[in-house]
Structure 1
């Protein structure tokens, strides 16, 4: 009977989980994003167009971020409109910030290098905050097994003898 209740819950939880490859790609993109943004900004400041700067960053970075940037660069070189081209990678949470920034810069005509520099700084700060949070959670996770080991010992060796001693004096006059 319990299996009939537990099976749909477990199936729903497993169905909502992302594949490990997708999680790994997102982590890799988040790690590479600050370097890619800095590299694109340097290329733009050196006078390259956005498509060439994107291609240079894609070639230097490689991996999942490099693949996506290479696709964007190819679309831009072929003459595609920048807004919808950058909107497609924005569907991924890891690339959303870069895609939105590049779309806004294409719409407004703002200097893209400044936008990319701010984006790189923000991405580094987010990564730093995530690593600090992960380091703090390790301490909490390390204490849990100790608590599970010492709490029963404390109860068995500290509380039960005291309660038994008190009970024996109260029950037996």
Structure 2
């Protein structure tokens, strides 16, 4: 009876742990996706601002032209600003996304004070793109390390079985014949 209780407790704990791991992985993938969407959105925002559009118009145009979480947030920000919302509160929607704080702050300043945001939006987009490249390189390095474990699990036993074992058996056979 104690084994059944312990088994059920372990199964429940394993189920909870796996659910937590899946949830954490889903969050991490969503964050990676959002960070990948931010650089093109920042470039497009800078291009719209350079063409003479205001922050609201730029957010609306970029939100309509892209898909994904960032585009949806930009559409919401543009709609809120169009309805007379306060820029500081509206741009908080974009700032809530991971990695978008700088871009949202830049667009908020441009909307409140009229400060030209083309250069700063371009710099932030370039920084986001570089960060995305660094993250991709880190993931590639990690994959290279992780791939060695299965290779060693397959090739090491094969090497021992086909390379070392016959030599040792031959040496042992030769030593046993002399005795």
TM-score (normalised: structure 2) = 0.73
How many residues matched?
171
Shift of the 20–144 alpha-carbon distance from structure 1 to 2, 3 Å rule, reads closer
Residues in 1 aligned to 2:10 and 2:24: alpha-carbon distance in whole angstroms = 25
Could you tell me whether the CA contact under 8 Å between 1:25 and 1:64 is conserved in 2? Answer: no
Other structure's SS at 1:83 match: helix
Shift of the 49–108 alpha-carbon distance from structure 1 to 2, 3 Å rule, reads closer
Q: After alignment, is 127-136 or 17-26 more displaced?
A: 17-26
1:119 aligned residue = 124
Segments of structure 2 that go 5 or more residues without pairing to the other structure are 1-5
Q: After alignment, is 151-160 or 86-95 more displaced?
A: 151-160
Other structure's SS at 1:123 match: helix
In the alignment, is residue 138 of structure 1 matched against residue 116 of structure 2?
A: no
1:4 aligned residue = 9
1:98 aligned residue = 103
Residues in 1 aligned to 2:137 and 2:67: alpha-carbon distance in whole angstroms = 27
In the alignment, is residue 38 of structure 1 matched against residue 47 of structure 2?
A: no
2:66 aligned residue = 61
Residues in 2 aligned to 1:142 and 1:41: alpha-carbon distance in whole angstroms = 40
2:3 aligned residue = none
Displacement of 1:10: 3.5
Displacement of 1:66: 1.5
Q: After alignment, is 151-160 or 31-40 more displaced?
A: 151-160
CA-based RMSD? 3.4
- 2:156 aligns with one of 146, 151, 156: 151
Residues in 2 aligned to 1:110 and 1:6: alpha-carbon distance in whole angstroms = 59
Q: After alignment, is 154-163 or 138-147 more displaced?
A: 154-163
TM-score (normalised: structure 1) = 0.75
